[in-house]
Amino acid sequence: MAQPSDFSSSPNEALTALPDAARVFRWHDHASLWFSLGVGLLVMQIGAYLVPAVGTRDAVIAIVLGSCIGAGLLAWTARLGCESGLASAGLMHATYGSAFARLPVLLNIVQLIGWTSFELVIMREGTQAIGQQAFGVELGGPLGTALTTLLWGAVLLALLAGSMVKLVRRFVSRFGLPLVVLSLLWLTWQFGTQLHAKGFEAFWSRPGDGSMGMFSALDLVIAMPVSWLPLVADYARHGRRNAGGGLGSAFSGTWVGYALANIWCYALGVMVVSAAAPGASLVTALLLAQGGLLALGLILIDELDNAYGDVYSGSVSTHSLLPRWSVKRWGLLLAVLCIAFALVLPMHALEPFLLLLSSVFVPLYGVILGRLGTGAAPSGMATRRVDLGAALIWIAGIALYHACAKWAPQFGSALPTLAATFVVAWFSRPSPAAGASALAQNRG
C-alpha cells in the first residue's frame, strides 16, 4: 500500500489522482489480482444453486453470458480508475458532487465491513469442516469458533500491515495464482471424471425444476462481479496508463482475469452439486474428492484475498471521509472491527441485509458509467457539492431495482436497472462544451 509521501502531497489520498510515477500494475498484475478475487467458495455455492433451478444447459449459458457482462462492467470501471488515477470514492465525488457523494461512500464502507466479516465466517466454517472431516477435531464449539476466527483475523491483519502493491505483484501474481489454478484444475478433473462415469449426456441434458427463469439466473451470476464495482478503481488506479489511447491493460486484464475465474468457479459449483451425493454440502463434497483437502485448503487461503480486498477498499473509502488517518491505519482498525463482528454477529442471518445493501450499487454505477464512462463529464461536476440530476437518477434506480425484483422477477433486476440508469444518465449528462471532463482534469 503506497503511503501519502509516495505519490501525493495532498492529505487525502483517495480524492487525489495517483501520478504516473506511482503506477506499477501491468496487464498480468490486473489479471492475476482479479482472477484471484474471482475465485471463492461463495461463487461455487451460487453456481450450485443454478442447476436444480434452470438445468445444466441454461445454467452454462447464464454463467458464460453473465460472467462476460459482469466482468465487462468491472473492466469499464477499472478503465475509469486507471485513466483518472482516482479511487472509487473519487469517482463518486466526480459524479454526485463532493457533499452528496459522502452517502454512497458511507454505504460502501458499511457493506465492505459486512462482507469482510462474512468472508471471515466462510473461512472459519471451512476450517472447521476440514478439522472435522479430515482430522476428527471438533472446532465448532465456542472456543473453536473463537480460535479459528482469530487465526484468520490475525493473518488478515498481517497482510494489511504490509504493502498492497507488493502483495499483488510479489505474492498473488507469482505464488498465489499458480497454486489456485492448480487446485481448480485438480477439482475440475476429479468431478469431471465422476460426471463422465455417471454419464455426461444425462448431466448435460438435466432439466431444471422451473423455480428460476433464465433472466433470473443471469441476474444471479451478474450479482457477483457487480458486487466488486465499488472496489475496482481502488486497484485499477495503480495501473500504468495506456499511452496509445486504447482500452489499456487495466480494462483487458480485469475483464479476462475476472471473467475466467467467475466462469470457472460457477461451473465448478454446477459440477460439484451434480456429482455429489444428495444433500451433501459443497464443502463436504470438496473434501470427499481425492486430494480435496489440499485443494480446499488452497481455495480457503485464496478466500483471504477477498477479505483483504474488501477491507483495503473500505479503508480507502474511510480515508476519503476522514483523511487525518492514513489508509493503512484505517485498514487495521476496520479489520479489528470485522473480526469482532465475525465473532458475535449471526452473519448468515445478516446475508439478506448485505445483499439488499449491495443493490444500491447497481444503479449507483449505472449513473457513474453513464456520466463518466463516455468521457463527457464536465469539469463542474468535480467541484459542485451536489449534482441533483445524478442523485435523483440513482434514487430512482434503487426503486426500479426493487420494483423489478417484486413485480417482474422473471426478467431480473440488475440488467434492467443498469441499462435504465446508464441511458438516463448518459442522455442527461451536461454538455461537454462546458469544459474539460472531470476525469481529464484529474489526470496526473
Q: How many CB atoms lie within 10 A of CB 49?
A: 18
Set of cell numbers at residue 387: 449534482
Distance, in Å, from the CA atom of 194 to the CA atom of 20, rounded to the nearest integer, reads: 51
Phi, psi torsion values for 396, nearest 5 degrees: -65, -35
Set of cell numbers at residue 236: 485499477
Q: Are 149 and 339 in contact (CB under 8 A)?
A: yes
Residue type, 326: S
CA of residue 269 relative to chain centroid, distance: 18
pLDDT bucket at 379, cuts 50 / 70 / 90:
very low
Q: Please give the residue that has the higher pLDDT: either 246 or 240.
A: 240
Give the DSSP letter of residue 290.
T
Spatial CB neighbours of 433, under 8 Å, sequence gap ≥ 6: none
Q: H helices of 55-141, where?
A: 56-84, 88-96, 102-135
Percent of the chain's residues with pLDDT above 70: 89
DSSP string, 16-79: SPPPGGG--B-HHHHHHHHHHHH--HHHHHHHHHHHHHHBHHHHHHHHHHHHHHHHHHHHHHHH
Distance, in Å, from the CA atom of 366 to the CA atom of 420, rounded to the nearest integer, reads: 8
* Domains parsed from the chain with CATH numbers: 28-349 (1.10.4160.10)
pLDDT bucket at 355, cuts 50 / 70 / 90:
low
Q: H helices of 276-378, where?
A: 282-288, 292-321, 327-344, 347-358, 361-372
On the CB side of 287, CA atoms within 13 Å amount to: 17
Distance, in Å, from the CA atom of 6 to the CA atom of 289, rounded to the nearest integer, reads: 47
Phi, psi torsion values for 108, nearest 5 degrees: -65, -40
State the sign of the Cα–Cα–Cα–Cα dihedral 342, 344, 350, 353: negative
Q: Are 269 and 48 in contact (CB under 8 A)?
A: yes
Distance, in Å, from the CA atom of 436 to the CA atom of 160, rounded to the nearest integer, reads: 37
Distance, in Å, from the CA atom of 376 to the CA atom of 390, rounded to the nearest integer, reads: 14
**Does position 23 have pLDDT exceeding 50, yes or no?**
yes
pLDDT at residue 351 in the model: 60
Identify which of 34, 27, 20 has the alpha carbon closest to the alpha carbon of residue 85. Answer: 20
Spatial CB neighbours of 36, under 8 Å, sequence gap ≥ 6: 172, 176, 177, 180, 257, 261, 302, 305
Buried b or exposed e, range 267-294, using 16+ CB within 10 angstroms? bbbbbbbbbbeeeeebbbbbbebeebbe
Set of cell numbers at residue 278: 444428495
Give the DSSP letter of residue 383.
T
Distance, in Å, from the CA atom of 184 to the CA atom of 131, rounded to the nearest integer, reads: 21
* pLDDT tens sequence across 100-155: 999 999 999 999 998 899 899 989 988 988 888 777 778 878 899 999 999 999 99
Identify which of 105, 76, 79, 107 has the alpha carbon closest to the alpha carbon of residue 90. Answer: 105
pLDDT bucket at 375, cuts 50 / 70 / 90:
low
* pLDDT tens sequence across 52-73: 888 899 999 999 999 999 999 9
Give the DSSP letter of residue 3.
-
pLDDT at residue 2 in the model: 38
Phi, psi torsion values for 276, nearest 5 degrees: -75, 165
Q: Please give the residue that has the higher pLDDT: either 358 or 29.
A: 29
* pLDDT tens sequence across 282-305: 888 888 788 888 888 888 888 888
